[in-house]
Structure 1
Amino acid sequence: MVMNKSILMFSFLSGTLVFSSCVTKKQYAQLQTDYNKLDKSFQDTKMKLVACGTKSKSLEERLAEAQKANDELKASYAALQGSLDKSIQQNSQGNVNISKLVDEINASNKFIKQLVEAKDKSDSLNMVLTNNLTRSLSREEMKDVDVQVLKGVVYISLADNMLYKSGSYEISERAGETLSKIAKIIMDYKEYEVLIEGNTDTDPISRPNIRNNWDLSTLRASSVVQALQNTYGVDPKRLTAAGRGEYNPVASNDTPEGKMRNRRTQIIITPKLDQFMELIDQAPESTEPVAE
């Protein structure tokens, strides 16, 4: 197209030279004007052609970039599809694990509920037992009897000057009425075990057939057990006698008052552990977690 333009311009100039002598000045001026227009058009066309070439090159580069980006997107899509397939497979296994975990949690919650109910029942019975016992004792008897509930266990602490003759393990007549009231409570609550525990101060003892405070504390506990069985009819299968000597003090042995507190016999009433052991045996077994 540029070549055609050059030929036309050459022809135009040749014609102008040939016929310049034959044309008027007005005609020549018009021809010069037309030539100038044609030359300007030629230059504009030439510039547009260069611009088109540059633009074409730019489009090719952009096309190449777009093709590269498209390839990268395809690779990313393939990777995402692989991850999705793997996630679906793992999620299927995860659903199975979650289902097992939910079953274990439900079983554990049921077991905990049973334990709480058993403990609440035991605590309630302990409170009723304690209230019944304290109401049955006179104000005078309560001076020598201390009743407490600690960690689900009822402790009845009896002062030795009320229970025994001085320095002896024989039960005094004064203790009879108090023991009878305690025995009645024990017999009313047949589901409880009864431990009789003797305690002494640190003063050594030397009596015939009593070698030391271990002997004295155990003999005193045995005397109470036999009184509950033989005199008040408590089932001996529920009774246990134990002595702790001077090694379970509740006060300092440095003062007469402290020694007096330490010389005591405790009647410890506890719920039978059978129901708790049965519950423990029924505890759900947890399964090992499945490795992912």
Structure 2
Amino acid sequence: MCTVCGCGTSAIEGHKHEAGGHGHQHDQDHELGHEHHHHHHQDDGHPHQHAHDDHGHDHDHRHAADGSVHGKGIAGVHVPGMSQERIIQVERDILSKNDAYAAENRRHFDRNGIFVLNFVSSPGSGKTSLLVRTITDLKDRVTISVVEGDQQTSNDAARIRETGARAIQINTGKGCHLDAHIVGHAVDDLAPEPGSALFIENVGNLVCPAAFDLGEAHKVVVLSVTEGEDKPLKYPNMFAAADLMILNKADLLPHLDFNVGLCVANALRVNPRLPTLTVSARTGEGMEAFYAWLEASAARRAARPKVA
């Protein structure tokens, strides 16, 4: 169970990496305190080994008197006999462990000059189409590889590979988000080139991915104009955590009753420093502005002092 939101099974329970058409199953112990080792390959070609505690997750649900089932996240309904204090502590433990993995990922990315974007959105916003368009248009300017996150199938990774880019698929099963531990293993397998860009397409969900740092340089929230203008107000944590909002499917605006100005205003109420770009991944409208933002952000990141 993801105790942060109270949903389903942990994203790391029996997760699968699928690279180059081959699936890799990783079954892990979920008790707090279980130690797991993984490697990052550094510039000198030698693996850098790290030991970490795995995430701890409870997998049961609580049943109320009326027979309904409630998740154990703090957003769920309080059930007598269920300790909210314990739940909060478990959530803090999980997030602190994730932050340690994310810091390790970030050090690896910075040492190797890999610029990482974490794309987050609700399902159907057009994230994959946006990535396909970006990779196709920028293939002569930057090398891009992709970590794809979905509950099932390798469809999106296959679409990415059709562009010629390298991609690895992570299937989370019932899990609602990627975490830094999973991404670290995927990056080990994918081995993005030094000086390249890495795109992480998170599981379609505007809730949990907001809480999980993956070691990225920036979170990019993608919102389709087919969704409501009030999405930033309904899911404020995600928009507060983002460094860029992309309004996608702009080619549909003439056919919709969607107020772009109101949507942007709502996003700024949540995050006053959030820039917005309006694009169409299908037609290419506005995409050059995104590419300019991407390249400028990557240059600023590269100019930062390298971590030890």
Taking structure 1 as the reference length, the TM-score comes to: 0.21
- As a proportion of its length, which structure holds more strand? 2
Q: Compare the two structures and name the one with the higher helix fraction.
A: 1
- Which structure is larger by alpha-carbon Rg, 1 or 2? 1
Name the TM-score, length of structure 2 as normaliser. 0.20
